């Protein structure tokens, strides 16, 4: 059974850097899937952040591209998100998800709430 | 890329059918049969409900169906049940390879 689990801080300082990790179980991250990050500000809709292929290829939301890095760690079967220059607008629940056939988010983590505040 | 446009809310009585629209452009919804729909109950992660316009993942009720015409995709829930009360989001593949979500629709069962 495929499972994804986010981990990372719940509180980060403005202008700081957010680092989140998504541990994948039940499937090898080296299989032919893309692995994605999606966020949801409190009370608002979903926003695609970007994704990574097992070979390291990445694709990012143009509105976040200058601040985002997504990478894959095959040895630990996990992938990570790094978001820099944080503001209050980055406060959100951050989800990791598997992307089926490069277009459908078929498995999701439970989400990690990140609050940007001093 | 701009979010796909969905109605903010749709409601219906138990047993009725409702339809949620998702409007994009020829660079996303209209250009590919790669529209998916997600159901999100309060406090939970989204759940894939429809993929590639009109396909249901294993375990999803056949009361959920999808369609597309031009730049607008639709999700229909027939035989509305109390458990269907949730937020629903569409998503589409885009010409740049990026993904875009809809603005979200809150479904209320009266």
Using one digit for the tens of pLDDT, what is the confidence trace for A53-65? Answer: 988 899 999 999 9
The pair of three-digit structure tokens given for residue A118, joined into one six-digit string: 């001093």
Contact in structure between A100 and B34 (CB atoms under 8 Å): no
Write the pLDDT tens digit of every residue in B87-109: 999 999 999 989 999 999 999 99
User: At CB < 8 Å, which residues of chain A contact B?
Assistant: 36, 38, 45-48, 51, 59-63, 95, 99-100, 102-106, 108-111
Mutation target among B3, B47, B59, B99 for the A interface, most CBs of A within 10 A: B99
Beta-strand (E) ranges in chain A?
A: 3-7, 11-12, 18-25, 34-40, 47-53, 58-60, 68-73, 78-83, 92-100, 104-108, 112-116
- Could you tell me the pLDDT band of residue A84, with boundaries at 50, 70 and 90? very high
> In this predicted structure, what is the pLDDT of residue A64?
96
User: At CB < 8 Å, which residues of chain B contact A?
Assistant: 1, 3, 32, 34, 36, 38, 45-48, 51-52, 57, 89, 91, 93, 96-104
Inspect the interface and report whether the beta carbons of A102 and B93 lie closer than 8 Å.
yes
- Total Cβ atoms within 10 A of residue B48: 20
Model confidence at B84: pLDDT above 90: yes
Task: Tell me the average pLDDT across A89-115.
Answer: 96
- Could you tell me the pLDDT band of residue A112, with boundaries at 50, 70 and 90? very high
> In this predicted structure, what is the pLDDT of residue A90?
98
């Amino acid at each position: 059974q495929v499972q994804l689990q986010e981990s990372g801080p719940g509180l980060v300082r403005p202008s700081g850097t957010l680092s989140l990790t998504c541990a994948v179980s039940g499937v090898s991250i080296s299989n032919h899937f893309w692995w994605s990050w999606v966020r949801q500000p409190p009370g608002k809709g979903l926003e695609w952040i970007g994704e990574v292929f097992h070979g390291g290829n990445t694709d990012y939301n143009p509105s976040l591209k200058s601040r985002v890095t997504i990478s894959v760690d095959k040895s630990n079967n996990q992938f990570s998100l790094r978001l820099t220059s944080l503001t209050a607008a980055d406060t959100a629940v951050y989800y990791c998800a598997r992307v089926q056939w490069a277009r459908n988010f078929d498995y999701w983590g439970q989400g990690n709430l990140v609050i940007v505040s001093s | 890329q701009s979010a796909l446009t969905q109605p903010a809310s749709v409601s219906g009585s138990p047993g009725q059918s409702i339809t949620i629209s998702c409007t994009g452009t020829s660079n996303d919804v209209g250009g590919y049969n790669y529209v998916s729909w997600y159901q999100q109950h309060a406090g939970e992660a989204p759940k894939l409900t429809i993929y590639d316009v009109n396909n249901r993942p294993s375990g999803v009720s056949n009361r959920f169906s999808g369609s597309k015409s031009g730049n607008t995709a639709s999700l229909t829930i027939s035989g509305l049940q109390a458990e269907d009360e949730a937020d629903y989001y569409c998503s589409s593949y885009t010409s740049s390879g990026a993904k875009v979500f809809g603005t979200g629709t809150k479904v209320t069962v009266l």
